[in-house]
Chains A and B, each alone.
Chain A
């Protein structure tokens, strides 16, 4: 049994520490698991792990493209690579290597892109990646995961150890409130119905799941019943859950910490336009680059707020035929 435990408070454990402890768990479970980083171990708090498991942890230095090629070679000899960098460097900078040396070559890898979207905060525009989901979704057979909380991150890191092809996690490194209880089970392609509703469906991923829960609260005060769904994996998408919810509510709003071009919203709209057309409004980054700020400021700048979701939800309801 699982329950939704979201309060918006600081999490029990930060994503970075969950990453370390989960990798350690994996090293014990399977000695062929290997973690490679392009010198962001300090940021991801994995330096201790490096000292403790020199055969399972590799630091390539600041060379992300080579890191992906090396991971492909490690896989060929039977190892199971998990690689990490900040999301722009784990996706945009190495896309050709991921696409060809891993995807097309039929290798298996897990890529963790941290500081996804606005969570790059003070590092600003060069580090603020709003396009990783769009790029990664074009790789045949890819699994794209927008991490909503630590329980989900841990569960899917373990579960994808032997998954063929490219598995891409995008995640915050810290400050991601808990959404799911520790005993929650997650599966690839299986979304979570967070709350039932009848007037509108809010489909939100990653840092926007909590915000969507808050938006549903705002809508409830206005007498609007909103259903909230976390797709867990953006690709593959839980088609059944999304189509059945659209049939029930007749209006959808998506919310993501990513460009509205090629992200969760685009995937949902693409699905529904063919299967069950209903109005789909999108909350996400609207054709803009990143900038410096803290999370609160950036959420306001880009409209990643509960108020904006609620507003778009009402607009979607108004567009119902």
Chain B
């Protein structure tokens, strides 16, 4: 694993320890994709966080917010010390699910938490961009389990009908839905809904970068979907093996152990 991906994971662990909250399995499964988007793909920087033509990142699977903060820290939106000092306080703007009302200067694009909201919101932005001829692209990160929500499919129909080819849906497919219902073949489903679909190893940042570049360059009127095959807790042996880390924050001892595991991964 690349050093930066280890460092980001350790930041997540520290922040989770600090606020004693977090869904670390979900954070670790999508972190590599989130980093790739911000580092290699998106037309975005902290300085142009309110530029109307920026690319948008919408975190629809809000439980992975602790994957976003470390990335935004590296990209200079705020400092690690600032987040670490305030996260977990009741009046902190660094909520465990992003809260855009606390970022009037931009950088956080949506209120996460209630599943099935981010995708329609992203589709609305992409639709407006189309109307306004903006070059802006919209990337929305969803969970595989989130596709149980009806609004996800409503927005897929609409995105396809509106030919929103600057929209990229990313499914963090860490097989969490397997425990609920059988969703069948998501690739075929999304293809049938009119999306260009790619399936990648969500922990291979080179493959992710190449896929995002290729798929977004295809202006064929079809919205894009990237199904990132991921592993819950990827980057820590303990976390991949024990689902208690779906929603658990490490104590001091666990923090040390998990950081060590990340280093050795």
A interface, CB within 8 angstroms of B: 55, 58, 60-61, 63, 65-66, 68-79, 96-97, 100-101, 104-106
- CB–CB A73/B151 < 8 A: no
User: Please, how many angstroms separate the alpha-carbon atoms of A73 and B154 in the complex?
Assistant: 15
User: Please, how many angstroms separate the alpha-carbon atoms of A97 and B123 in the complex?
Assistant: 14
Query: In the complex, what residue of chain A is closest to B111 when comparing beta carbons?
Result: A105
Task: Name which of A60, A70, A71, A101 has the most chain B CB atoms within 10 A of its CB.
Answer: A70
Answer whether residue B124 sits at the interface, using C-beta atoms and an 8 A cutoff: yes
| CB neighbours of A76 from chain B (8 A) | 109, 121, 124-125, 128
Stretch at the interface among B66-74, B155-163, B191-199: B155-163
Which one of A63, A96, A101 contacts B157 once the chains associate, using CB atoms below 8 Å? A63
A61-B161, A63-B158 known; A69 vs B111 contact (CB < 8 Å): no
> Which B residues between 72 and 113 are near A, CB-CB below 8 angstroms?
100-101, 109-111, 113
Query: In the complex, what residue of chain A is closest to B152 when comparing beta carbons?
Result: A66
User: Shortest Cβ distance from B99 into chain A, in angstroms?
Assistant: 9
| CB neighbours of B157 from chain A (8 A) | 61, 63
| CB neighbours of A96 from chain B (8 A) | 114, 117
Answer whether residue B59 sits at the interface, using C-beta atoms and an 8 A cutoff: no
A63-B154, A63-B158, A104-B111 known; A77 vs B128 contact (CB < 8 Å): yes
Query: In the complex, what residue of chain A is closest to B109 when comparing beta carbons?
Result: A76
| CB neighbours of A61 from chain B (8 A) | 154, 157-158, 161
Answer whether residue B129 sits at the interface, using C-beta atoms and an 8 A cutoff: yes
A77-B132, A105-B100, A106-B100 known; A100 vs B125 contact (CB < 8 Å): no
- CB–CB B110/A105 < 8 A: yes
User: Shortest Cβ distance from B76 into chain A, in angstroms?
Assistant: 23
Query: In the complex, what residue of chain B is closest to A58 when comparing beta carbons?
Result: B127
- CB–CB B123/A70 < 8 A: yes
| CB neighbours of A68 from chain B (8 A) | 120
